[in-house]
Structure 1
Amino acid sequence: MTTILTKAKVLEPMEPNRATKLFGGEASGILNWNDIKYPHFYEIREEIRAQFWIAAEVDMTPDVKQFATLTAAEQDAYLKIIGLLATLDAPQTDLAAKLADFTTDPSVKSIMATVADQESEHNHSYAYVLSSVTDLNGQIEAFEMGRRDPVLLKRNERIVEIYNEFAETPTIETALKAMVYTSLLEGMYFYSAFAYFYNLARHNKMVATSTMISFINRDELQHARFISELFRATLAENPEYNNEQFIEWVYEQYRHNVEMEKEWATYVLSDVEGIEMDDMIGYIKYRANKMLRMMGLSEIYEDYYDNPMKWIRAYVDNFDGVKTDFFEQKSRQYTKTSDLNGFDDL
């Protein structure tokens, strides 16, 4: 029988400070960063915290003037993609809070608090960007896309289902599934959108927007790293889910969502100059392989092990990846593949 998780109590002084499990364990609620079950979570916490920024730091003045000079196709893609990002980033704040509610590890609660705050700022940044380039009606229309655009609604069907399932029936299984979809969001869903703005920037268009996107992208890389580590650790603690049926479910979600991402990218980017759709589709498959690898699983797309859109590396710095052994949970460093410190050098 599946056990429903209960919200962790705020304080349980008779229980140990170091959590016994990530979910369904015992912990006092007192956080000592020098005595946590997964010490490398502290490194991730510090890297996430080091990236503090706010939307108002980006001067949007140049883009205010330049937006009117974009082609109709570029303007349409710009507004649709901001609408997409707002649709997907908004629930990330709530999901991080919900995961924090049910984890019994106070270090995870702390990291999720920072992630939730950053996701909130991402959502604010989309409103900030839109207010710079369009009137209030245009802003409202962009934010309505997630509820009205049929392609976007189709694309987001499963994430709505999985996130709401965890909210309504919190179990180890639904938490793991929510983490899988968070990895899809943070590590793959956003990337055709990011590529669009970086493509504009490399043609000296809307550079301020690209700067904002690079800040968001940098955060998402770290969030994707943490959620993959949390997934691996949770699966290792609950080996009954480390079985062929569940892992095949994960692969099927990735296959399905790659197809959804391809459909979305074709819908929104096919008329945009400078992005070859074959490269974009290859990039989506490359990102899927990369996220699966981070989660301790095997790649599913042969011949998509390298980034086919290497020019993107100029727009966002990479982070130092830490790989955790899937079963023993021992931390070890990835070997960097080059000295570029580029976007795809994990």
Structure 2
Amino acid sequence: METLTRVKILEPANPNKSTAIFGGKASGILNWNDIAHPHFYTLRQQIRALFWTANEVDMTQDVKQFASLTAREQDAFLKVTGLLATLDGPQTVIAMKIADFTTDPSVKSIMATIADQESEHNHSYAYVLSSVTTLDKQMASFEMGRTDEVLMRRNERIVDVYNDFSENPTIDSALKAMIYTTLLEGLFFYSGFAFFYNLARNQKMVGTSTMISYINRDELQHGKAMSDIFRAALAENPEYNTDEFTEWIYDQYRHSVEQEVIWSRYVLADIDGIDLEVMEGYVKYRANKMLRMLGLSEIYPEFTDNPMKWIRAYVDNFDDTKTDFFEQSSRQYVKTSELNGFDDL
């Protein structure tokens, strides 16, 4: 299997329009009016439209409210934040790694944009924790990714796939790394997001839920972009589009659903307002949704609809726009009916 090499910054002898996403030729000069996959321009524009920074979010009320959360809620708050930080940190790096080895300058640009946003997500978790708790608890939360046995077991395959691409960059390992990126962007975060949204619908920690909703919107766009780039790369390399590889993808999704369910039962048990059976259905619904984006079949036919319809109120993703910070109260404080909202979560 041919090893990919880091792409040179400029190779003027090559054409501006890339000949392939991986293993092709390109000059390194990016002309958005002359790219191999024109819809990649739209992907970047959609991601860029969501620009925000953590310190724009007012955490004043959360600072006051954190101490009034139940001990179980506080523990879950710290563990879920630790999980999200553990996952978002590597997302910055994997986007840059893909950028290193792609020969398509438009993909490099998209990855640079994703990496920047993932870096801000990671900053956001530190910002939230520094607002509401002591330094020692902040440190413990960020240590979870390498000390908590349940979390470490949950992340084993992520570690293996990402490190394999880093150490053995090939088209095969790049495709597999992109699959795990879709899992992170579209599945692994979502029980954690639901925890914060559940607090917000009970008028708790609304500033944090606002931050999470911005992160959530970013991840939806990242997941779509990565799915589209994956499909384009696979189309360029049809020899990898085998039954064996397809089954590998399904296996990773099944395994990831199992691990996400185990994690949610571990961290969200006894949280008022969260039904763990419904949460399991929501995780399976998210898996189906991401598989469809990859052009694959659903593996949980009984969960084609979102079983947690109340969660729709917390992300303004139906038109890819960002709610103004001064216009958030209607979204944050209104509990939705079963028919209200939209269905992109």
Q: TM-score, normalised by structure 1?
A: 0.93
The equivalent of 2:308 in structure 1 is 309
Contact 2:6 2:100 survives alignment (8 Å): yes
Q: CA deviation at 1:344?
A: 2.5
Q: CA deviation at 1:302?
A: 1.4
The equivalent of 1:19 in structure 2 is 18
Letter in 1 for 2:303: Y
What are the Cα deviations for residues 15-53 of structure 1, in whole angstroms up to 9, with x where unaligned?
A: 111000000001010000011111111011011111110
The runs of at least 4 consecutive aligned structure 1 residues that moved more than 3 Å come to none
Contact 1:87 1:146 survives alignment (8 Å): yes
CA gap of 1:343–1:120, structure 2 versus 1, over 3 A, is farther
Letter in 2 for 1:87: T
Alignment of 1:42-121 (within 5 A): 42-121=41-120
Letter in 2 for 1:170: P
Take 1:260 and 1:79, find their aligned partners in 2: how far apart are those partners? 19
Q: CA deviation at 1:14?
A: 1.1
The equivalent of 2:329 in structure 1 is none
Take 1:43 and 1:344, find their aligned partners in 2: how far apart are those partners? 19
Contact 1:187 1:291 survives alignment (8 Å): yes
Take 1:295 and 1:282, find their aligned partners in 2: how far apart are those partners? 20
The equivalent of 2:165 in structure 1 is 166
CA gap of 1:244–1:320, structure 2 versus 1, over 3 A, is farther
Contact 1:84 1:152 survives alignment (8 Å): yes
Take 1:320 and 1:239, find their aligned partners in 2: how far apart are those partners? 34
Take 1:63 and 1:23, find their aligned partners in 2: how far apart are those partners? 46
Take 2:343 and 2:53, find their aligned partners in 1: how far apart are those partners? 22
> What stretches of structure 1 of length at least 5 have no aligned partner?
322-338
Contact 1:316 1:343 survives alignment (8 Å): no
Q: CA deviation at 1:318?
A: 2.3
Q: TM-score, normalised by structure 2?
A: 0.93
Take 1:310 and 1:341, find their aligned partners in 2: how far apart are those partners? 8
What are the Cα deviations for residues 30-86 of structure 1, in whole angstroms up to 9, with x where unaligned?
A: 000011111111011011111110000001110000000000110000000000000
Contact 1:63 1:206 survives alignment (8 Å): yes
> What stretches of structure 2 of length at least 5 have no aligned partner?
321-338
Contact 2:28 2:105 survives alignment (8 Å): yes
Take 1:59 and 1:344, find their aligned partners in 2: how far apart are those partners? 26
The equivalent of 2:175 in structure 1 is 176
How many residues are paired up? 327
